[in-house]
Structure 1
Amino acid sequence: MVIAGRQGRLFEREQVYTLEVLSAQAAVAISHSKLFEEQRALTAQIESARDQLETVLSSTESPVVAVDRHFRLIFANPAARALFDVGDDTKSIVDMLPGSALPQNGFAALRAMRRKRAFSYEIHVHDRVFSCHLAQYGTKKIGGWVAVLTDITQLMELDRLKSEMVRMTSHDLKNPLQAALANLELLRDDLADLKDPEIIRSVDTIERQLERMFRIISGILDMERLRAATRYIEQVHPEQIVERAVSEVSDFAEEQRVSLDYEVARDLPCLACDADQLNRALINLIENAIKFTPEGGCVHVYAERLHEEILFSIADTGVGIPEDMQPRVFDRFFRGNQRGVEHVSGSGLGLSLVKTVVENHRGRVWLRSVVGQGTTFFVAIPIMAGTFSTRS
């Protein structure tokens, strides 16, 4: 832009001042114009991304619902509107969802999402089972929540049929195995007079294999009983659970020449839990720790409060678990093959049973281990893990 006088003379001071003011205003106007263009381009990009996201969410078969922090409905895709019969006048999620569709323990869900921004649970709607994944959005403060539902009805039925088949097969195998073990003892008595070392070794090998099969079948049946059983929820102090578990395995620890002790933090609240199931889980963990700890080692059991959970820890000075095996230790039938544990017997179902019990109580289980130094298993159970019911 060029500014010039008609007579070709120099600008006077007042004219220069006026031009300076005009140039400053022109610079601001140009800057605002650029910002406006950038804002318009950014708005167009956001609207395009929003349209793409809405197209994807609308076309998916999984119900998707979004609400703000006051539980006002922001978005529900066609699948969610059809499932919950949502009308155009629906304003709140409270008007939209049946009570069974919300988490049983809302505070536990909020705490979980604050820690890891996600929470999953199962819901039943119109004779269908859904896995509901909740996530919160917002950076400095909670803006709201998004729920994505996945229909797992058929998967649940397949799992039930598989479990029923495994249970029936295992039950049918258990009786013949018991008979085989009994007859083997009779055979051992008959062969005692022969004093043939090779025959005795063969009989011992057969007995070990039959006992291993018996442990596996018993473990499978225990797992299925846990899955099918009605939990008896009662108020139990953590110290009672720890004392009972340690007492039941103390003789085994003495046989293995492993020191076993426990400690319970002061002023712990009671747990709402199935004491029998939780006791069984702790026994499995303590027995495992003893099995994998050499003579002269020690196993320590500790219970303390961790926020709104009771944390049980079982620490040993055993052989430890290699890092590459740690993600699989809770899998069914998994047994480590590291050196130094060849003599340890087991079905490979003990830790899987522990995981089932912990999940029944909406808890968490994990481990830390260093090869050659030992392993610590952690079990965290929410203080209000369940609702009260009666044993069936």
Structure 2
Amino acid sequence: MASFREEGRSRSEGTEFVAARHSLRWRITAAFVVLVLLPLGWIYYFAIDVLETHPGLLATLVFFFAFSTGVVFQWAGQLAKTLEEYTGIVRRLEAGHGASHYWMDQPDELGQLAKAIYETTESVRHKIHQLSQDKTKFETILESMVEGVVGFDHMGRILLMNSAAEQMLRIQSDRVRGKLLLEAFRHRELESLLIQALNTGEVQKKQLQLWPNKPQTFRVQVVPVWTEQRRLLGAAMVIDDVTEVRRLEQMRTEFVANVSHELRTPLTSIKGFVETLLDGALDDAKVAKRFLSIINEETQRLQRLIEDLLQLSRIESQAGRAVEDQAFLEPEMQRVRNLLEPIALEKRITLQVDVQKNLPQLPLSPDNLKQVLVNLTENAIKYTPEGGRVHVRAFRQDQNVTLEVQDTGIGIPEESLPRIFERFYRVDKARSREMGGTGLGLAIVKHIIERSGGRVTVHSQVGAGSIFTVSFPALQE
């Protein structure tokens, strides 16, 4: 064991000796010795007779040589130590640590070197801090975007990806960084857009579906990224989910088409009968009276349609505002019963109303509450055959007031239930128009109820009838 330690110590000393031999201190001293010994050797060779006769002169030369060598060795050591400190400063800067200012009093090259290192250190530190702030801002903005963003280099390899893109493409950025798009996400159209943008240097745009089994539409835009010297760095791909936008555009298109159709139908009828009357039908009093009666019905239908459209527009324009009005359900229900009971009796339909006593106020105006009650109850009467029954009841349920309108009518097919509250949607369009419906009644009901914080649902079975259930939040008494 002792021999092993001695061997290790000797190896360590040997390594230190080799490092010392190659250090700046020893190299400067050795260079000085060589440069001094050359002229001394020349003097000794040509003046050996003088030196032998004057032995003191030789001793003086040897002394000054030894003294000068010692001074140079000491000065070289200080120089090497100073350079080692500068090396440590640079290494700490490289490791990301701050470097302190090493000051030297003498205005020589070392002092200038120290000043240059300090100024460089401060400049680099400031730039690193600025870059770190810019990087933090960039990452914060990138992660807060709802659009998916993917960055590529000029070869099409993935450089970065935000969280939105990870969710849309269902991949993790850490696993695909450095890979080609087709290796990370197999989609030919997406790959084709990227290749076209990189090859042509032009922006590429397209709407497409990323997943074949999901009806989602994405708008993809690939923008090439250039340097100031017009050298292609790569491309940025922005992916935006426009499914909801497309749905709203489709709804708007359908709404305009439906309104146009609903307005055109009675106007066409009125125009036809007016032309017939002008062509001579006015002379026949019986025919003229019948035509004028039809024109009156179509005019009333137009009036109802326009009134419903205006009311729906008012309700939608008030969306998001606080509901300040309040109403009691029992008195409004009694008014609606008095209004619709003659219509029910005319069809021999039993209209039964059961309202629990002392119900709390509801967060909507009396007019809006009346509109909900009229639309639901009138619909139930319209689509219930003669001899049927319509039952309206209201009761307290936990913190809500529940209203149920049940009928024994023709019912609603299951496939039509999800769309029953859409504007202008009709299960049987011909029958609905015959009964004078505008196709907006249930849409108005839904908007009024949701604005008051409630919800409406429907359960129905063809041939057995329907149950519309409305849940209102009850106000504190």
Q: TM-score, normalised by structure 2?
A: 0.40
Give 1 or 2: higher strand fraction.
1
By relative contact order (CA 8 Å, sep 6+), the higher-ranking structure is: 1
Q: Which has the larger radius of gyration?
A: 2
Q: TM-score, normalised by structure 1?
A: 0.48
Give 1 or 2: higher helix fraction.
2
